[in-house]
Structure 1
């Protein structure tokens, strides 16, 4: 590999750690994404009219 000597064990460890890192990042970011989504929803609700709010509440009750 162009002068780089990587053992099969080192390569396997590198792949396992890369997958673990990706999974950990997705898991850790899940709560952040949910909070961001909730903040965006609250901002949209704050700007809706009374009629739109009542219609949305009726839909949510069904």
Structure 2
């Protein structure tokens, strides 16, 4: 009986750790992808559009 409880406890703890790690890594991956897409969009901007965006950000 105690080994059954220990096994279930180990399973629950390992699932919790896996879930937490997946959320953190997924969040970082999405953030990097968003930054990459933003950089690609900015690379295609004209100088006028870029300066207008920079003026809006500094206000």
TM-score, length basis structure 1: 0.68
Distance in 1, Cα, partners of 2:31 & 2:51: 24
Partner residue, 1:3: none
Which of 6, 9, 13 is the equivalent residue of 2:6? 9
How much has 1:14 moved relative to structure 2? 0.8
SS in 1 for 2:14: helix
Distance in 1, Cα, partners of 2:39 & 2:11: 42
Which has the larger share of helix? 2
SS in 2 for 1:23: helix
Partner residue, 1:58: 55
Which of 35, 39, 44 is the equivalent residue of 1:42? 39
Residue ranges of structure 2 left out of the alignment (5+ in a row) = none
TM-score, length basis structure 2: 0.71
SS in 1 for 2:40: helix
Residue ranges of structure 1 left out of the alignment (5+ in a row) = 1-5
